[in-house]
Each structure stands twice: as structure tokens, then as C-alpha cells.
Amino acid sequence: MQIPQPLRASLQHTNYSCGERVKSLGILSQAVEAAKRMRILLVFVAILYMSSYLVGWYLISIKSPLAVETAQAITASVLTETPFTAIVQSLQGGKLLQAVLITFLVNLTTGAFLTTTLPGTIPLVGALGTIAITLFRGFAIGVTYPEILASSVAGFVLGFGTLVLEWGAYVFSGAAGIHIALAPVMPRRYGVQSRWSAFKAAWKDAARVYVIVIILLALGAIWEMTGILLALRPT
């Protein structure tokens, strides 16, 4: 029996769509499995962020000179330095997509990969670097975000959503960095004897986990930039 050409084309399109959907689910499944292998590190990094955030929050609440100076320095850099100025200009010009793209790329490259994952290429010492960045970032958020969260209901919603999404992404990227740094030191954690094999396995896990990092940072950029754009519009 000969299948009509339109029906054949429709079936081929359906099969292709199903195949792409299965492939996407497979990628997400691998990301989740890799994250499970890092679950202890994920909890550890999350605790580091939360504890340093609380320290920053407490110090800014009592007007500690260190916290106040840090908050002022961060605010000044956001207002005067690239790429923050480019993001602000994009939003002022109503270019939401451009602002989202810049924010996403900066957070992915500088915020996640270069500062929290790439240091893991240095065995053990790289883990200490990622931990230091994590503690400083949590402290910096702690001294700046309370004012945003307390400003208004809209400010709380915007700030809290951004905090959860971007912070979540950095927890995964930081855990991936520590995961890589520990691999050559403790290769048996990966079921191998070779330090090089363990190092490569850790990088594969990190690549899989970055699917989650990318999703969270993309959502975070959309949430943050959309909220700021709406706030900038005259009432």
C-alpha cells in the first residue's frame, strides 16, 4: 500500500519532533543524574552561600562600616562600569531582548564558568578558590539585597525571584568546580584508579550539570530584566 505524499511528510515530521523531544529529555535526565552525583557538594555550596548571605545581612543591618562600604562599592560599580551600563542603556531604550542577552551571557561566562567552575582545573587548590568566590558573593548579596527586598512588594518579588534563580545556578556551577578540583585527588569517588580518568569524568559531569545552569540563568535574566524594565516605565 502506497502512502500519500502529504501523509508521509506529516509522519516524518511527527517522528522528527518525537525524536527531538526524546533527545531533550535524555539531556535533562543526564543533567539530573550528574547533579545527584554532586548532591553533597550542592548542599555544601548552598550552605556556604546562605551562611555568608546571613553574615552580610546582619552586618548591613547593624550598619557595619565594612558592610556599608562594600554595598556602596557594589552600587557604584553597577552604575558606572561595563557591562552594567550597557544593560541599563538597553533597558532605558526599551531593548529588553538585548538586556536579557547581555545579562545571561555575563552571568554564564563570568558569574558561573570563569569564577566558580574553571578554577576546578587546579586540583584541590581550585576548590578553595571556588569556595572563596562563593563566600564573597554570598556576603555581597547579603549587604545589597535586603534593601531591594524591603523596598516594596514588587521589589521583593523581583529580588527574590532573581536571587533564587541566579543563586541556584551558581550553586550548581560552584559544585561543578569543586567536583572537578577533587577528582584528581580522590579518583576512587569516580570508580577509577587513574587521576586523569577521574578528571575527565568530572568535566563530563560538569558539562551535563551546565544544562541546569543555563536554564536557571536564562530564566533569571528574563525575570530580572523584565521586572526592571517594568519598574522603569513611568506610572
pLDDT tens readout for residues 81-124 = 888 899 989 998 989 999 999 999 999 999 999 999 999 999 99
Phi and psi for 4 in degrees, rounded to 5? Answer: -55, 145
pTM: 0.87
What three-state secondary structure class fits 170?
A: helix
Express each pLDDT in 193-213 by its tens digit: 899 999 999 999 999 999 999
Q: Which are the contacts of 45, defined by CB distance < 8 A and separation ≥ 6?
A: 134, 170, 171, 174, 175, 178
Confirm if 107 and 225 have CB atoms less than 8 A apart.
Answer: no
Question: Does residue 27 lie in a domain region?
Answer: no
Q: How many domains does the chain have?
A: 1
Question: Does residue 167 lie in a domain region?
Answer: yes
Express each pLDDT in 62-77 by its tens digit: 999 999 999 999 988 8
Express each pLDDT in 161-197 by its tens digit: 999 999 999 999 999 999 999 999 998 887 788 999 9
Q: What's the residue count for the chain?
A: 235
Phi and psi for 174 in degrees, rounded to 5? Answer: -70, -40
Question: Does residue 17 lie in a domain region?
Answer: no
Confirm if 104 and 35 have CB atoms less than 8 A apart.
Answer: no
| Burial class, 36, CB count within 10 angstroms (exposed 0-12 / middle 13-18 / buried 19+) | exposed
Packing angle between helix 125-151 and helix 39-61, nearest 10 degrees?
50
Integer Cα distance of 151 and 154 in angstroms: 8
Question: Does residue 211 lie in a domain region?
Answer: yes
Question: Does residue 98 lie in a domain region?
Answer: yes
What three-state secondary structure class fits 108?
A: helix
**Residue among 135, 139, 132, 159 at smallest CA distance from 56:** 139
Question: Does residue 10 lie in a domain region?
Answer: no
Question: Does residue 4 lie in a domain region?
Answer: no
Q: Which residues of 43-63 are buried (b: 16+ CB within 10 A; e: fewer)?
A: ebbbebbeebbebbbebbeee
Confirm if 190 and 202 have CB atoms less than 8 A apart.
Answer: yes
Integer Cα distance of 183 and 189 in angstroms: 8
**Residue among 176, 184, 235 at smallest CA distance from 41:** 176
What three-state secondary structure class fits 90?
A: helix
Question: Does residue 173 lie in a domain region?
Answer: yes
153: containing domain: 38-232
